[in-house]
Structures are given as structure tokens and as C-alpha cells.
Structure 1
Amino acid sequence: MAPVSSTQLMSNPVTFSEVMPNVASSFIDIGQGITASIYQGMGTNRVQAAMTNDSDLINFSCLLNGQVEFRSGRFCIKPSTGNSSISFLPHDRFDISASSQFRQVELMLPKEVLQELAGSDADWLLEDIAKGHFYRDCAPGQQGLNAAMTLFKRLSSRSSSPLMIKAAVYEFLAWQLDNPGICHQQHSVPLRERKQLMEARELLLQDLCCAPTIAELARETGLNQLKLKRGFKLLFGSSIYNLFLQERMNHAKQLLSKHNVGETAQMLGYSNASHFSKAFQKQYGVCPSEARKHAI
């Protein structure tokens, strides 16, 4: 399998579809040499490809679902589901293998742009990169994972404005840089349990009107309730219920820009608008009617 350059893949949709025919992708030029991209397996067979990285860009990525493996002469990279990775591997050749239903979000940018945007927050990374080829895989925590998922959704949606995409890019980058060295979470939760916890998170947030019970999540994922509760704390930094409530209230903020308080409460499954208002105020410190004034 002859390798294709990374520049060719990003700049030519025809080349990408020929090399990875069962992968849906989107590449967005953010400006300043920054490219944001998403990849999603669409077939039933594993994805196989070969690529040469002909750029000097820093790569930030998060694997949201499935499995991906990159093999080069220097590394065998197998990011864990739900984990973020940072790499600087210029001019390396990679053999890529991915499961049929994988999902990944990625951000690439030059070193000087990272320095300009992040300042001293990026010093630790630029110091490591100055030593040569670099790769690090870490559990991002709940807020970092939320930022990755938001970026994936914004890049997937045709209705996302350039400003919304750029905001999601900067938030994703900020959380990637937030925790430079302490990656103990990924070692605290075994790989199989991380995958089950990611599945539990998706099930939990499928319907923000009605949360499944912990017993239902345990039955669907094959994890017992104790491991679910402990795993959510370790991997996402939150209890199961608090994570559901955070996502529910985040969605409420979006709905309030187009709907009144009563309508928003009803759309989120609240039978009583006052219960919704109390939950919203507890989360954000302001009542939803006040938040709506600023949102409109």
C-alpha cells in the first residue's frame, strides 16, 4: 500500500475518498494555519491506509468511539477510547488501522501559532517538542471530553457558523493544554471499562428529558453499578447524575435563545417550570428568565 502525504489527504477530497473509502471526513481551515477535522467510519470493515506526515504541525486529537492504531518506525500509537492525545511527528510514515465505526476529532496547527495563542500555557509542550518527536495520551476529564464532543458536533453540522466553530476550536485547545503531565486517570480505569463507560455516557445523554437509572445503564453496558459510579468519577470527574444535569442545563441555555422558560422546561421533560428554574439557578447562579434576556 503506497503511502499518501497528509497534505494530499487534507487538500483533496477525491484523494481522501480513494484512500479511505469507508470514512466520512471534514476538514475546516480555521485561519492562521490551523486545520480542524473529523473522521467517522461508515462501513462494516476495518479501515486500512498508509500515510506520510509531510507537515511540521502539532496534532491534538480525541478518539470518541471505536479503535484506531497508528504504526510508524518510532511508535505504535493506540489511543484509548475517550482519551486525548498530543503528537508532533513530522516526516514519519504511518500505517493506519481503525475499527469500522470509529469517530475522531483532530486539530493541527504550527508551533509558532500555538505559542501566540496559548503563551506560557504551552511552554511545557513546546519544550518537549524541541527535544524531537513527541506523543502523549491522556484522559482529558469531563470538561475536556465535552469540548471534544462539542467540536465534533460543530464540524459535523452545516448550520454551525465560522464563529461557533472557532470558539469550539479554542475551547478544545485550551482543555488539551490544561493538564500537561498528570495522566493517572487513564491508568486507574482499565481499557475495557473505559469503553463501557463511554458507552454509558452516550446512553445517559441520549434523551435529556429523562435519565436512565443506574441499574439500566449497568444492564446495557455490562458494568456493575459500583464500577459505573466509580468510573464516572475517575474518567469524567463527575457523578452520573451531575453529568446528566450539566448536559441538561447546557442544552437549556441553547433552548432559551429561541423559547420561553415554560417551553424550555417542557422540552426538557420538566412537568413544573419552577423545578426547572430552581435547577437552572443552582447550576448557573441566575434564573432562566434572566439568562434568556442576555441570550436573545
Structure 2
Amino acid sequence: MPNSRAALDWLLREDDDERAVPVSERVEVDDDHWRMSTERLDIGPGMWVFLSLADVWGEPTLEPRHEEPSAWLCSNIAVKGKVSLSLSDGLSTDITDRCSVLYRAVDKRARFSPAPSQRLQLAGYMLRSDRVRQMLGESLPAMLPPLIDENAVSSKLIEVPVGVRVRQAAGSLFTTKLRGALRLLFLEGVVLQLLAMQTARLDRGVSGRENPLSPKERSSILEARDLLLANMRHPPSLAALAAEVGLNEKALNAGFKELFGTTVFETLRNERLEHARQALENEDLPVKRIAFRVGYNHVNNFINAFTARYGTPPRKYRVRRSER
């Protein structure tokens, strides 16, 4: 395999950095949380494929990291099952058999948290930015350049709906009928097909907008996100936030969906819960106090939201993390 493989620091993480296991071509894990096998393939210049199969019964975490110097476009598609994806600067979403994701992690790390009690079949690929530009040329959708921007200072995540054709194509990546060069050739063709189908979705406007954001709208929405998250305990209302940045409420929500993959409310909720998760791991504070700090007046509402997001109640999450 190419020497560049050694330069890719891809980590399989179940709890902390001390127990991180370097991944070569294939890694298999069988423990109290899951039975998992993941394969990584360098299938051509600027192209990687990741194939994971798992029976999940606990709460594992997969945290890959790559050290390639250039920008890479990443994608994950769940053929079966559900996994939550979160990036270090607060962006997050659920990858399911109906919703795939295109993203760029600014620090080249991402956290995958599979839902418990399921069979997971997850396909992923990475494409170097220069190869994406070379392949798409003038057909590059307006939403794609931020995902391959060499000078980006923040992460970018876009949800892309999945239909039967995309799911079938992603499932074909797991074929065992081909070997050697024939398999690599087949995988490369499927990845290009997936990129084409996902890009076509973007070109039609995943967010429902007929036209891409103007530079002024983009600036207003970035400003709105900063204002929204500046005080999660007392955030502005949607109407107040829209008025502050000079947009109507519908345009603001659509712009959030286009830039961040989530609505204004979902962005606030995800950021609150991510801050709460970090507090549970790193601070010895009562759950009620953490809930209040991130903006939940009623602890039961916080518990329900946290459980829906991370698959376990906050107290149980803290106990399991401390045991690990």
C-alpha cells in the first residue's frame, strides 16, 4: 500500500486518548459495548473508503482523526442503523438510512456515537479537495466550496437526504465478490457515483432555497449564530435574532439549514447538549446545575433531550464515563 498510509493517524476511540487504538487496514473490536469490524482502503489518488459493520449493545464511540495536510471532503451513509456525528466546534447530526452527511472537520476529528441495540452498517469516503474540484469543475454546487476550502477556520456540515439508489450504492461498497485491483476499481466507481448523486441533491437545494446564499446573507447568518450561542442561558428569540441581523425568520432558519445543516432551534439545542456532555465528563457538578447552566429551567426536559441525543440519561452517562 502507499507510504502515505503511515501518515494517516486514524484513531479508534472508545473512551479516552490513553486507550486509543491505531487503525491499520482493518480493526476488529469485541467488548462490552459492541462487536465491530472496520476497514480502511486507499483506492486511488486523493480517495479513501471506510467500511464499518457492527452489532451494538452498549455506548461505544468511534473518533477518527486524519493528518493529511490538505482539505478533504468527508461523507458517511448509513446503509443500516443510526449513528450520531458531532464535530468539535458544535456541529452535529444523526446519520440514518434516510439522511447522509457531507462535512469537513476543521481540526480533522469527528466523533461517531452509534445508537445502542442495533445492527450498524456504515459506509464513508474522503476526497481530497483538489480532486473534487477537478472532477466537478464548473458544475461545483454553490454549497460545496465551503466543504473543500483550504483556508477554512470552522467546520462545515450538510445533511443530504438518502433515497433507495444512494442506499443501494452505499451497500454495494461492502461487496465481497471482487478482489485486488478489481475491487479498488469498483469501489472508486461507486464513490464517484455517490458523490454525483449527493451533489445533485445539493444542486437542487437541500435546504429548499432556490438560490444560494449571497455573501451578505452568509455574513448575517454567521453573526446570528454568534449572537445565539453567546448566552445559551438566555438566548434571543427567533424573531429578535432575525431582526438583529436584518433577515426574516424563514430566511434565517433556511440559512442556518444551508450553512450548518440544522435550524436555529436545533443549533441551539445541539450546542447546549454538547456543552452539557462535556461538563458531565469533566466537572463534578449536579445534573440539575448543569441543566440550568446550559439553559434548561426544568431538569426533566434536559434529561429527556440528553437521552434522545446520546442514548442514555445524563447520570448514567457520567457513571459509565467515570467507570471507563
What TM-score, normalized to structure 2?
Answer: 0.47
In structure 2, relative to structure 1, the CA distance for the partners of 1:13 and 1:150 (3 Å cut) is: closer
Which of 75, 78, 100 pairs up with 1:63? 78
Distance in 2 between the 1:77 and 1:70 partners? Answer: 5
Corresponding residue of 1:183: 206
Distance in 2 between the 1:43 and 1:141 partners? Answer: 25
Deviation, 1:125, is 4.0
SS of the equivalent of 1:102 reads strand
In structure 2, relative to structure 1, the CA distance for the partners of 1:53 and 1:76 (3 Å cut) is: farther
Deviation, 1:142, is 3.1
- Establish whether residue 110 from structure 1 lines up as the match of residue 128 from structure 2: yes
- Establish whether residue 2 from structure 1 lines up as the match of residue 25 from structure 2: no
Corresponding residue of 1:141: 163
Q: Which amino acid aligns with 1:45?
A: G
Q: Which amino acid aligns with 2:145?
A: E
| Deviation sequence 1:204-231 (CA, Å, 0-9, x none) | xxxxxxxxxxxxxxxxxxxxxxxxxxxx
Distance in 2 between the 1:43 and 1:127 partners? Answer: 35
Q: Which amino acid aligns with 1:103?
A: Q
In structure 2, relative to structure 1, the CA distance for the partners of 1:75 and 1:18 (3 Å cut) is: farther
**Equivalent pair of 1:53/1:91 in contact (CA under 8 Å):** no
Corresponding residue of 2:195: 173
- Establish whether residue 46 from structure 1 lines up as the match of residue 59 from structure 2: yes
**Higher-helix-fraction structure:** 1
| Deviation sequence 1:119-150 (CA, Å, 0-9, x none) | 22334244323364210112133332332222
**Equivalent pair of 1:48/1:97 in contact (CA under 8 Å):** yes
Q: Which amino acid aligns with 2:16?
A: A
Distance in 2 between the 1:29 and 1:78 partners? Answer: 26
SS of the equivalent of 1:47 reads coil
Q: Which 5+ residue runs of structure 1 have no aligned equivalent?
A: 186-296
Which of 126, 150, 158 pairs up with 2:172? 150
Corresponding residue of 1:122: 140
Q: Which amino acid aligns with 1:23?
A: M
Q: State, as a whole percentage, how many aligned pairs show the same letter.
A: 14
SS of the equivalent of 2:169 reads helix
- Establish whether residue 90 from structure 1 lines up as the match of residue 106 from structure 2: yes
Deviation, 1:46, is 3.5
Corresponding residue of 1:75: 91
**Equivalent pair of 1:67/1:81 in contact (CA under 8 Å):** yes
Distance in 2 between the 1:164 and 1:94 partners? Answer: 27
Length, aligned pairs only: 181
Q: Which 5+ residue runs of structure 2 have no aligned equivalent?
A: 1-14, 209-324
Q: Which amino acid aligns with 1:24?
A: S
**Equivalent pair of 2:84/2:94 in contact (CA under 8 Å):** yes
Deviation, 1:85, is 1.0
Distance in 1 between the 2:170 and 2:44 partners? Answer: 19
Distance in 2 between the 1:116 and 1:158 partners? Answer: 28
In structure 2, relative to structure 1, the CA distance for the partners of 1:121 and 1:148 (3 Å cut) is: farther
In structure 2, relative to structure 1, the CA distance for the partners of 1:12 and 1:38 (3 Å cut) is: closer
Corresponding residue of 2:246: none
Deviation, 1:8, is 4.5
In structure 2, relative to structure 1, the CA distance for the partners of 1:121 and 1:104 (3 Å cut) is: farther
Corresponding residue of 2:312: none
Distance in 2 between the 1:74 and 1:47 partners? Answer: 20
In structure 2, relative to structure 1, the CA distance for the partners of 1:174 and 1:49 (3 Å cut) is: closer
Corresponding residue of 1:36: 49
Deviation, 1:68, is 0.7
**Pairing of 1:225-240 with structure 2 (within 5 A):** none
Deviation, 1:35, is 0.5
Distance in 2 between the 1:75 and 1:62 partners? Answer: 17
Deviation, 1:37, is 1.6
Distance in 1 between the 2:21 and 2:45 partners? Answer: 16
What TM-score, normalized to structure 1?
Answer: 0.51
Distance in 2 between the 1:122 and 1:7 partners? Answer: 37
**Equivalent pair of 2:56/2:114 in contact (CA under 8 Å):** no
